[in-house]
């Protein structure tokens, strides 16, 4: 019988399958279900800096008083925060698997104090979603990257629990950026809101919310490269993981843990059992007794031809298609 235990961000997981931040992890009832179906850990639904500011603005709409606006901002922010901290505390009481909090921010300083509150509420770790859209043509790349670097340094000074940055892939030098970021872990990759256009109504709408199995290709490439280039950082794979085979792929590429989300919306939380069983069956079939025996076995530095991970190989494999 294969052993599925592993570690991520210094946390002991009974298996590497983590349910990612979403509505699936927004209530104690659902969180209990997720544990029952076998997940190794959960990432709580994110609390959004942008959402808090928006809600405060709606409540204060029509008021010309700066004092009133300050009060509304304070009230909404602190009540939203309190509800989230209660979710952390209640989740920790309800389940035995690691509970990872999640914040979604757009600044380097706004959430530092909140991160400390997350730690005090009992979260085992913190996942930080920070993304600043680089839409100012007069700003340098360093200007935008510094938002991430400054936040990482602030968190290192403020909290003692481990944390990971959940990143997008749009950096000019992703490996160099992550190395300079120098945090305990990274999640590759975040799935951002993307606009779409309804051409009949000529209105903006939202693009597809859920990932597809094909979306694994980008994260798989970078997990394989990153796990070889930066060996002192844990990597969690995310986006496009829909079955046990996809989990195996990411572990072979070098991931320490693998997040699932869209597939549970499509197939139900019970699908967790299938994913974990498929992982265990594959390990038994190939004679692996534990995760470490094959983790990173097919990463960039471990295979005979690492160029298969590089973009320059695209034409080699597809030039024959007519």
CB distance 279 to 247 below 8 Å: yes
- With contact defined as beta carbons under 8 Å apart, do 190 and 166 qualify? yes
3-state secondary structure 138-153: CCCHHHHHHHHHHHHH
pLDDT of residue 191: 81
User: What is the structure's pLDDT at 277?
Assistant: 98
Residues contacting residue 144 through CB under 8 Å, at least 6 positions apart: 132, 134
pTM, to two decimals: 0.88
**CA–CA separation, 69 vs 319, rounded Å?**
60
Q: Which residues of the chain fall short of a pLDDT of 50?
A: 313
pLDDT tens profile 233-252: 999 999 999 999 999 999 99
> In this predicted structure, what is the pLDDT of residue 322?
56
Cα–Cα distance for residue pair 255/249, rounded to 1 Å: 9
Domains of the chain with bracketed CATH:
6-318 (3.20.20.70)
């Amino acid at each position: 019988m294969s052993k599925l235990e592993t570690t991520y961000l210094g946390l002991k997981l009974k298996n590497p399958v983590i349910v990612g931040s979403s509505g699936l992890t927004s209530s104690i009832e659902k969180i209990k279900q997720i544990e029952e179906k076998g997940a190794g850990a959960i990432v709580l639904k994110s609390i959004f800096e942008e959402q808090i500011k928006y809600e405060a603005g709606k409540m204060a709409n029509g008021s010309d008083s700066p004092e009133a606006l300050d009060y509304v901002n304070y009230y909404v922010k602190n009540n939203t925060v309190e509800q989230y901290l209660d979710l952390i505390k209640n989740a920790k009481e309800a389940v035995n698997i690691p509970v990872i909090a999640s914040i979604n921010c757009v600044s380097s300083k706004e959430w530092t104090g909140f991160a400390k509150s997350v730690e005090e509420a009992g979260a085992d770790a913190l996942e930080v979603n920070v993304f600043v859209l680089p839409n100012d043509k007069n700003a340098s790349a360093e200007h935008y990257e510094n938002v991430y670097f400054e936040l990482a340094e602030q968190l290192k000074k403020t909290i003692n629990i481990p944390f990971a940055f959940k990143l997008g892939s749009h950096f000019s030098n992703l490996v160099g950026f992550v190395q300079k970021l120098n945090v305990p872990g990274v999640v590759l990759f975040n799935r951002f809101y993307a606009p779409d256009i309804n051409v009949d109504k000529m209105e903006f709408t939202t693009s597809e919310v859920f990932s597809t199995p094909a979306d694994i290709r980008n994260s798989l490439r970078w997990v394989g490269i990153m796990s070889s280039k930066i060996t002192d950082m844990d990597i969690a794979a995310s986006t496009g993981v829909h079955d046990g085979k996809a989990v195996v792929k990411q572990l072979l590429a070098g991931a320490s843990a693998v997040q699932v989300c869209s597939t549970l919306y499509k197939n139900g939380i019970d699908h967790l059992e299938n994913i974990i069983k498929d992982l265990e069956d594959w390990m038994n079939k190939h004679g692996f007794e534990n995760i470490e025996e094959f983790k990173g076995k097919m990463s960039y530095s471990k295979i005979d031809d690492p160029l298969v991970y590089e973009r320059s190989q695209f034409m080699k494999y597809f030039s024959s298609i007519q």
